[in-house]
Each structure stands twice: as structure tokens, then as C-alpha cells.
Structure 1
Amino acid sequence: MFWKQSLIGEDLRHWIEDNYDWVHEHRPTWWKTAQLVTPTRKHFSATHGDDHKTAQAVTHDIMRLLGMDYQIQLEPLPELPDELRHEYGKSSEVVGEYWHDDDAPLITYRPSLLRTPLAFINTMVHELIHARLAPVADELPGGLVAHELATDLHCIIAGFGVIQLQAAEQMGWTGYMTQPSRAVALAEFLRLKEFEPEQALKHLSGRPNRWLKKAMKAA
């Protein structure tokens, strides 16, 4: 008999499900307010641009979607011109970081990332979820050792799974979760929130689209 191969291992699948359960039990408001966020004018009001004002506007949109009213500082990182970054081998430098402080948390970002808006949105979502999870990081399934992985997952639990899948495909890097594990987490979000699959699939290009279809069939 031939068995259908699972997209991800059982331990990882259980960890994803455990994180959904944790949010339902301990942060029900997060779950209640989560919506399926798409890279459209329905969810983002910021205009296109590559300056700090644009970065602030996009970050404000994300915070609104997350229901966050934190006082977070946003600061661009110093950056070499493109030709010099390639010359010195720095084209893969850090794109964003979250610096926790109870009074004035800080997010830094690479300005050139604004040229690829979806990747910038994805990076800012990840850093803002760091801020959301900071007070409970050691309480989440997997504990602190899984914190970065959990941050990626909680972006999806918060409704940004389409953004994550498509941004990773666009940029050619996967962050902390793999594309199959992201697809499984997004399929779980769609199932639990009772969204029609097409609401997500129509915003995904070839490979992410296929990953999500496989995840939904295996669910």
C-alpha cells in the first residue's frame, strides 16, 4: 500500500496546533480580532515609497491590523550604496531587528527593503510580533528555545500567512519556518476561521499556491 507523504513531521504539526490552542486559551482577543490579511488596499493604506515616512505608515497599518497600541520607535539602519554592499559582500545583511524595552521598544530596518514592499511588510510583521510575544515568550509551547520559530508562526496565527508565504517566495529566503510548515499553519488558520481557501490562494503565486493546496488536502 502506498501512503501519502506528510508535508511536515508529526512533532512540528503538533507544535503548530499547540500554539493555536495556546492563543485560544490564553489570548482569545488576539484570535478573535485576527483576520486574513492580504497585500491589498483593503488592508494597507500606506502609499508606495522608499523613505522613512513610508516605513512609518506601513508599520502603522500593521499595528492597526494587529490591534496594537504600543509606543514603538522605528529607526532605519545605516546602509552602504548597493554597489558597495555587493563589493563588500553585505547584500545579505540583517533586514530588521526588534530591541525590547518595557518603556520604549525599538525596531530597526534596512531602508532598501522598502523597494520590495511585500518583504518589508513581512519583516515588520515579524518584528511587531516579537513585541507582542515578549511578555509571554517563555510560556509558549516550545519555550524560549523556539522563540524565533514561534514568532514566524504567530505572524500566521495573527492572519499574515499569505504575506509570509508570498514574501518568502519573492525574496528567495524562508526565515525561520519552511514553506511547507507555513502552508500547514495557514491551512489551519483558514480552517479554524472558516475562510474559503480561494480567499488566500488568489494572492499566492505558483509554488506557495501549490504548497497551500497540498496542506489543505492533508489537513
Structure 2
Amino acid sequence: MFWRRKPLVSEEMRDWIVDHFDWVSTNRPQWHDQARLVLPTKDFFDAPPGGGHETALGVLRNIQDLMGLDLRIDLQPLEVLPDDLRHQYGQMSEVAGTYMSDGESRLITYDPTLVRRPLTFLNTLAHEVMHARLEEVAHLLPGGAEMHELATDLHTIIAGFGVIELEGAETAGWAGYMGQPSRAVALAMFLKFHDLGPADALPHLSARPARWLRKAWAEED
């Protein structure tokens, strides 16, 4: 009827998200089994403080451990202008991170200024590490290799980083590849799959992501 509330995402998007959860359950069940809801706390991240490259290396190690990814991944900061000059020349939207691989060696580069913005940095690095996990199966995923960046965002949530993604994108002021409503739907599915509820995630979300998650959860009931 005309008074029904519009759902957060289209039926096509929701089906695509479900297809990826199903693909993991069928083809990589260990990914589901080892996933847990990752929160931006010291229980999950024990990288040394300071905001420099040693901090970044510690975060990389934490993320790989949480994903169960035993691969060598090199990490290198990008050369960037100082914050004041980037602002002056309108370059605050430069690349946050990249992943490169030749099948044998793997390299993630990152904007070193992001280390001072923990949630944004966690979100960026988790996305790039997920590229390494999906590298050998990207062409097998629903939607194919052409949707790899979008699928990488989604699989980061399937791996337990949904709170990091939602809040990281919110604090950064940009959505990335998936939209925030789509992330909320995926996070709601993750919570249900792992017998969790919104109360497990909401304390770590600000107002808008929290509203999206509550609506996504209601739509899943």
C-alpha cells in the first residue's frame, strides 16, 4: 500500500547481499565460523599508540589475526601533502589506501594521516586486507570480478567488521563502495547469523548509523 515505508535497500541489492552470505556458508564455511563482531576496542586492537607507522603495522597484524589470514602483506605509507596544504588545494579526498599483488608478494599503501583517525583507518585497512583474502576467489563471487570492490566492502562486514565499516565511513564523511544503508542491512544479517542483536553493536555507533541498523534489523524480523 502507499503508506508502507520504503525499505533501506532495493530487493536486488538485498538479494545480492544474501547471495554472498550463502556463498561463504557453502564455499568458505570456516570464514563464517571464525567471524566475530569486531569492535573498536582494546579487546580487538592492541597496536602500539603514537599514530605512526608502527601503529599502522600493529593494526595490520590485528586485522589479519581477526580474519585468520596468514599471509605476508607489506605495508607502506603514501607520500602526501601536509593537512593544511591538502585542505588549501582541495585534496582531502585523495586515495586512502590501495592493495597491490602479483600473486606472490602483496603490498598495501595507506594515507599516513589516517592513522590519527582510528575508525577511518581501521575501515580503510580492513578493506584492503580483505582484498588479499578474496584475491583467489573474486571471479567466483556473485556478481563476478567486475563487482569486486563492492564485494570487498560486503565481505569485510561478513568477516565481522560491520561496526567498523559503518562508523568508519560516517566519521570519514564518505560512503566508499557500499552505501551506508546497504552496510546496515549486511550488518543486521551478520548479527542474526551469529545469534547476536543490535544491542551488541549500537553502543559503538553514532546516531545515523544506529538509526540505519535499527531499521535494517526491523526489516529482517
* TM bucket, shorter chain: over 0.9
Match of 1:44 in 2: 45
* Offset, 1:204: 0.6
- Report the TM-score when normalising by structure 1: 0.97
Matched, 1:11 2:20: no
Match of 1:105 in 2: 106
Matched, 1:207 2:197: no
2:208 maps to amino acid: R
Number of corresponding residues? 219
Which is worse superposed, 87-96 or 205-214? 87-96
* Offset, 1:87: 2.9
- Structure 1 CA distance for aligned equivalents of residues 46 and 83 of structure 2: 29
Match of 1:159 in 2: 160
Match of 1:86 in 2: 87
Match of 1:193 in 2: 194
2:130 maps to amino acid: I
Match of 1:23 in 2: 24
* Offset, 1:35: 0.3
- Structure 1 CA distance for aligned equivalents of residues 41 and 107 of structure 2: 27
Matched, 1:124 2:138: no
Question: Would you say the 8 A contact 2:99–2:108 is kept in 1?
Answer: yes
Matched, 1:181 2:186: no
State the secondary structure of the residue aligned to 1:202. helix
- Structure 1 CA distance for aligned equivalents of residues 191 and 53 of structure 2: 34
Query: Which blocks of at least 5 consecutive residues in structure 1 are unaligned?
Result: none
- Structure 2 CA distance for aligned equivalents of residues 181 and 208 of structure 1: 11
- Structure 2 CA distance for aligned equivalents of residues 139 and 86 of structure 1: 41
- Structure 1 CA distance for aligned equivalents of residues 198 and 215 of structure 2: 12
State the secondary structure of the residue aligned to 2:215. helix
- In the TM superposition, structure 1's runs of 4+ consecutive aligned residues that sit over 4 Å from their partners are none
- Structure 1 CA distance for aligned equivalents of residues 19 and 83 of structure 2: 43
* Offset, 1:176: 0.5
State the secondary structure of the residue aligned to 2:76. strand
Match of 2:147 in 1: 146
- Structure 1 CA distance for aligned equivalents of residues 40 and 102 of structure 2: 30
State the secondary structure of the residue aligned to 1:40. coil
Question: Would you say the 8 A contact 2:48–2:54 is kept in 1?
Answer: no
- Structure 2 CA distance for aligned equivalents of residues 101 and 125 of structure 1: 20
* Offset, 1:85: 1.8
- Structure 1 CA distance for aligned equivalents of residues 96 and 5 of structure 2: 38
State the secondary structure of the residue aligned to 1:106. strand
1:68 maps to amino acid: L
- Structure 1 CA distance for aligned equivalents of residues 128 and 17 of structure 2: 20
CA RMSD of aligned residues (A): 0.9
Match of 2:63 in 1: 62
* Offset, 1:42: 1.1
* Offset, 1:4: 2.7
Q: Identity over aligned residues, as a percent?
A: 54
